[in-house]
Amino acid sequence: MADGAGGAGKTPPNRVFRRPPKRTGRLNARLRRSQNHRNDKMTFYSETLKPRLQQARVLVAGDVMLDRYWFGDVARISPEAPVPVAKIDRTEHRAGGAANVARNITALGGRAALVSVAGDDEAGDTLQKLMENCGVETLFSHDKTIATTVKTRVVARNQQLIRLDFEDAPTHEILDSVKQQFRAKLADCDVVILSDYGKGGLTHVSSFIEWARQAGKPVLIDPKGGDYAKYAGATLLTPNRSELREVTGNWQNEADLAGKAQALRRSLGLQALLLTRSEEGMTLYRDGEPHHQPTRAREVFDVSGAGDTVIAALGLGLAAGLDLPEAMRLANAAAGVVVGKVGTAVCTFDELAQSL
């Protein structure tokens, strides 16, 4: 009975089962070729691009801030109000704003000097130490009358629950000190980046542009607000879609967008305008036809600070002697790396080389 009951599952005596042919040899060969390609690519960029980036010097000015992260978990709702209760188990401090631009430059192997305003407080000291640890030459004018701008984010399971902002506008006396430091550092840079977060650190942005042009330095600006007239004479602006829409209004299609972007560029006397478009990549507007590059991001976790990475990589590439489309390619690849990380992040040279 046992044999009869189980006979259907047995191998007939005359049938020979052969193992399928091994394909591991082909697979391993493909993997070896892929690894060799990655190694060759790393070697190529390390020997050609890296030395140029290491010699590039970028002067960064603008609004700095301390990004404070509280990481934890949420398991219940508060009995006091219909809000989640986050149990915090880890805290981190990261550089934000213009400070994040500067640390992205050094992470890619370049040299950065940072001129800005910070409060005479614990947050300002923490931010200065962070920058010095990143290899950034940090020139802060400390204002005793204000608190350093701090953005505190509560994060649970890779989701931001809330952001708390603490900020004050700097005094005119301190801004005069920033102007002096900026002019003093101009001779030691190849490119100037101005990072405007609307916190008051770039009150004298028109003067910065004028001085940089007199010194023969390209000026790249990450803009903020609806008044772009103050950026007239800069080399290039890097607005995102919402920032551009605030100035030009809505567009109907790509042709309409190109018309609005080019009209704005010409009215401000810019050489170029680089529109960052999140999941759609980025588009460069200058004389001639627009130049578009699709996004390089494989997975998007957090877009915080992606604009900082774009302008940092773009400016560093130009400082290293790359032309604008080549520098744009670097910026696009670097942005694709950082949006795959949680929080304000940087792209290292090795990550950039792997992504190119």
State the DSSP string of 163-224: EEEE--PPPHHHHHHHHHHHHHHGGG-SEEEEE--SSSTTTTHHHHHHHHHHTT--EEEE--
Domain limits, the chain? 55-65+95-149+168-355
* C-alpha span between 294 and 333 (Å, rounded): 10
> For the purposes of burial, counting CB atoms within 10 Å of the CB of 171, is it exposed (0-12), middle (13-18) or buried (19 or more)?
middle
Please tell me what DSSP assigns to residue 290.
-
Q: 297: which residues sit within 8 A by CB, 6+ positions away?
A: 279, 335, 336, 339, 340
Q: Name the nearest CA neighbour of 321 among 43, 57, 36.
A: 57
pLDDT at 340: 84
* C-alpha span between 201 and 261 (Å, rounded): 26
pLDDT at 145: 94
In the chain the beta strands, taken as DSSP E runs, fall at: 57-62, 64-77, 84-97, 111-119, 137-143, 150-156, 159-166, 191-195, 219-222, 236-237, 272-276, 282-285, 291-293
Q: What is the mean pLDDT of residues 156-181?
A: 93
pLDDT at 7: 44
Tell whether domain 55-65+95-149+168-355 is in CATH 3.40.50.300.
no
165 is catalytic: no
Choice between 27 and 218, residue whose per-residue pLDDT is larger: 218
pLDDT at 50: 93
Say yes or no to pLDDT of 34 above 60.
no
Task: Tell me the per-residue pLDDT of 304-333, one tens digit each, with 9 for 90 and over.
Answer: 678 999 999 999 999 999 999 999 999 999
Q: What percent of the chain has pLDDT above 70?
A: 86
Please tell me what DSSP assigns to residue 344.
S
Task: Tell me the per-residue pLDDT of 236-268, one tens digit each, with 9 for 90 and over.
Answer: 999 999 999 999 999 999 999 999 999 999 999
- Of the chain, the end-to-end C-alpha distance in Å amounts to 67
Q: What percent of the chain has pLDDT above 90?
A: 77
Q: Name the nearest CA neighbour of 48 among 251, 349, 347, 337.
A: 349
What pLDDT band is residue 215 in, cutting at 50, 70 and 90?
Answer: very high
Residue 311 and residue 294 in contact, taking contact as beta carbons nearer than 8 Å: no
Choice between 141 and 343, residue whose per-residue pLDDT is larger: 141
| Tokens (6 digits) for 296 | 């390089």
What pLDDT band is residue 16 in, cutting at 50, 70 and 90?
Answer: very low
Say yes or no to pLDDT of 181 above 90.
yes
Catalytic residue, candidates 143, 308, 323, 350: 308
Task: Tell me the per-residue pLDDT of 87-130, one tens digit each, with 9 for 90 and over.
Answer: 999 999 999 999 999 999 999 999 999 999 999 999 999 999 99
Task: Tell me the per-residue pLDDT of 121-134, one tens digit each, with 9 for 90 and over.
Answer: 999 999 999 999 99
Residue 113 forms beta bridges with which residues? 59, 137
pLDDT at 283: 97
| Tokens (6 digits) for 156 | 């649970």
